[in-house]
């Protein structure tokens, strides 16, 4: 069978590129191409970013906190460039354990020694002809993760990402169980999709997105519940484009083909028992040829983007209440310049956006990272009012990336292509900045705007989302 490029919904929590037509999806057996795993940067604890030439001492607090980062981080290893079919090499997710660093792609889930980068092996699929197609963004406290698989040719017209395995990383990556989880049939025929979304919920439940359902599985593999989108009861072509989840909330982006927009989108919100909380799916109107993406469920947010050639319409950050209704649509505009969302691509065309959230504040980057005269800015946005709380400058010729956030501080890596990179702490209250660390330059040119950033105290991983010059570069403290 000849290779083919697929029309994908796209990224970061799942930005959806509008298909040029519905025909391609129909020709492919009405495959849904939903967004895949992992958003390392968009956790409720993702960070803020800043790069500047001077620093102001941070205001002291009554109780000292553990340092967010050591004084200096240096590269300690670099994994090789990813090889293979470019349709299968994009990133899914990364897992950390004390003895291993897992990097998941459509070509396999590699297990690397976190100290040396040496390849220790791969997560072995339950059957030899299976290929990974989805992955939980993280492990449970007990070291459990989940991986989805395609059985057979992953590029076949009706490739189905419908085998789900629970992986025990504390027991030699043993597969606890594998189950086939398929969607509801349409006109008597199964819908298929070559990617999926997986997420752990409160109550030890694994949520699995299918083309038109979401299934909750207990950790013993038993089915806890099934939610069906509005198309199932009507026997209509309504697709689950994306899913994001956090603790006891699940957001599902659904799409209906038709109309001048080609696709129209709604959001359904579920709790951890699979109950739909909104009376009906919430419509998500978008500009002509624009797109909409789920950002995350902590807080519950989405981004509406204009068509790429539309330089007038601003993107919007849409916030939701706990019951799934729209709370506010906030235009992403700043006197500091264009808002930079720093998208990184994942398997299946999924995108992640570099936005940090803490409580009722969102942190974004504004300005031109290539400018040698006007520094980029960090913008603190009040999600309740839509107002800007503060804006603080970053260095020129810098691509800031968020490393982490808490209620008092947002932490930013001042990204450089080939130079040492400061790490700054910005006070949540007023933007006061302090340099707290330096990340030493590598011997590779870094494309800082789309790298996957994975930071845990004392350990920074920068991973190419696809086929770049390297795989993963790991940074650790230096004496």
Question: How is 102-155 classified by DSSP, letter by letter?
Answer: EEEETTEEEEE-TTT--EEEEPPPSSTTEEEEEE-SS--TTSEEEEEEEES-TT
pLDDT of residue 63: 55
pLDDT of residue 260: 67
* Cα dihedral across residues 191, 129, 226, 272: positive or negative: negative
Q: Cα(179)–Cα(286) distance, rounded to whole angstroms? A: 37
Instruction: Please report which confidence band the pLDDT of residue 1 belongs to, taking 50, 70 and 90 as the band edges.
Output: very low
- Third-level CATH fold of 23-477: Methylamine Dehydrogenase; Chain H (2.130.10)
Q: Cα(441)–Cα(375) distance, rounded to whole angstroms? A: 21
Q: How far is CA 186 from the centre of its chain?
A: 29
Q: Is the pLDDT of residue 45 over 70?
A: no
User: pLDDT tens digit string along 119-162?
Assistant: 999 999 999 999 999 999 999 999 999 999 999 999 999 999 99
In order, the DSSP letters of 397-430 are S-EEEEEEE-SSEEEEEEE-SSS-EEEEEEETTT
Measured between its terminal Cα atoms, the distance across the chain in Å is 55
H or E segment to which residue 231 belongs: helix 230-234
Q: Could you tell me the residue ranges of all domains in the chain?
A: 23-477
Instruction: Please report which confidence band the pLDDT of residue 279 belongs to, taking 50, 70 and 90 as the band edges.
Output: confident
User: pLDDT tens digit string along 174-203?
Assistant: 999 999 999 999 988 888 899 999 999 999
For the chain, percent of residues with pLDDT exceeding 90 = 75
Instruction: Provide the b/e sequence for 185-208 (b: ≥16 CB within 10 Å).
Output: ebeeebbbbbbbbbbbbeeebbbb
Tell me which of 288 and 62 has the higher pLDDT.
Answer: 288
pLDDT of residue 64: 63
| Omega prior to 195 cis, within 30 of 0 | no
Q: Is the pLDDT of residue 237 over 60?
A: yes
Q: Which two tokens stand for residue 430?
A: 């007023």
Q: Cα(84)–Cα(81) distance, rounded to whole angstroms? A: 10
Q: Is the pLDDT of residue 29 over 90?
A: no
Q: Is the pLDDT of residue 18 over 80?
A: no
- The whole-model pTM stands at 0.86
HSE-CB for 252 with a 13 A CA cutoff: 33
pLDDT of residue 462: 98
pLDDT of residue 226: 98
User: pLDDT tens digit string along 291-312?
Assistant: 899 999 999 999 999 988 888 8
């Amino acid at each position: 069978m000849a290779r083919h490029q697929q029309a994908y919904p796209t990224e970061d929590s799942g930005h959806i590129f509008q298909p040029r037509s519905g025909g391609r999806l129909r020709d492919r057996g009405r495959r849904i191409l939903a967004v895949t795993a992992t958003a390392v940067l968009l956790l409720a604890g993702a960070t803020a970013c800043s790069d500047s030439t001077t620093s102001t001492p941070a205001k002291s607090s009554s109780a000292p906190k553990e340092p967010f980062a050591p004084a200096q981080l240096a590269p300690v290893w670099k994994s090789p460039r990813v090889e293979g079919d470019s349709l299968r090499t994009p990133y899914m997710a990364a897992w950390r354990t004390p003895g291993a660093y897992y990097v998941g792609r459509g070509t396999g889930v590699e297990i690397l020694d976190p100290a040396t980068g040496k390849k220790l092996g791969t997560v072995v699929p339950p059957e030899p002809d299976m290929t990974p197609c989805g992955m939980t963004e993280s492990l449970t406290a007990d070291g459990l993760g989940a991986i989805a698989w395609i059985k057979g040719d992953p590029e076949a017209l009706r490739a189905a990402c419908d085998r789900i395995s629970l992986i025990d990383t504390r027991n030699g990556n043993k597969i606890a169980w594998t189950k086939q989880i398929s969607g509801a049939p349409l006109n008597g025929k199964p819908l298929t999709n070559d990617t999926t979304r997986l997420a752990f919920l409160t109550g030890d439940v694994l949520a699995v997105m299918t083309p038109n359902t979401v299934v909750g599985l207990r950790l013993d593999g038993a089915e806890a519940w099934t939610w069906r989108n509005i198309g199932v009861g009507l026997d209509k072509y309504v697709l689950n484009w994306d899913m994001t989840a956090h603790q006891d909330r699940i957001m599902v982006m659904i799409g209906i083909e038709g109309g001048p927009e080609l696709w129209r989108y709604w959001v359904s919100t579920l709790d951890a028992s699979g109950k739909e909380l909104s009376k009906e799916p919430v419509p998500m109107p978008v500009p002509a040829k624009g797109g909409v993406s789920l950002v995350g469920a902590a807080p519950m947010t989405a981004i509406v983007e204009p068509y790429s050639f539309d330089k007038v319409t601003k993107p919007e950050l849409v916030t939701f209440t706990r019951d799934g209704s729209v709370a506010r649509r906030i235009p992403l505009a700043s006197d500091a310049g264009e808002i930079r969302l720093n998208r990184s691509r994942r398997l299946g065309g999924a995108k992640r956006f570099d936005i940090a959230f803490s409580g009722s504040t969102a942190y974004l980057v504004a300005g031109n990272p290539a400018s040698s005269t006007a520094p980029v800015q960090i913008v603190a946005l009040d999600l309740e009012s839509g107002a800007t709380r503060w804006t603080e400058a970053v260095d020129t010729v810098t691509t800031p990336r968020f490393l982490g956030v808490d209620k008092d501080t947002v932490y930013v890596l001042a990204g450089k292509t080939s130079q040492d990179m400061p790490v700054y702490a910005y006070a949540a209250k007023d933007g006061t900045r302090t340099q707290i660390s330096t990340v030493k330059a590598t011997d590779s040119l870094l494309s800082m705007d789309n790298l996957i950033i994975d930071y845990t105290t004392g350990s920074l991983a920068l991973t190419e989302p696809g086929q770049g010059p390297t795989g993963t570069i790991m940074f650790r403290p230096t004496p």
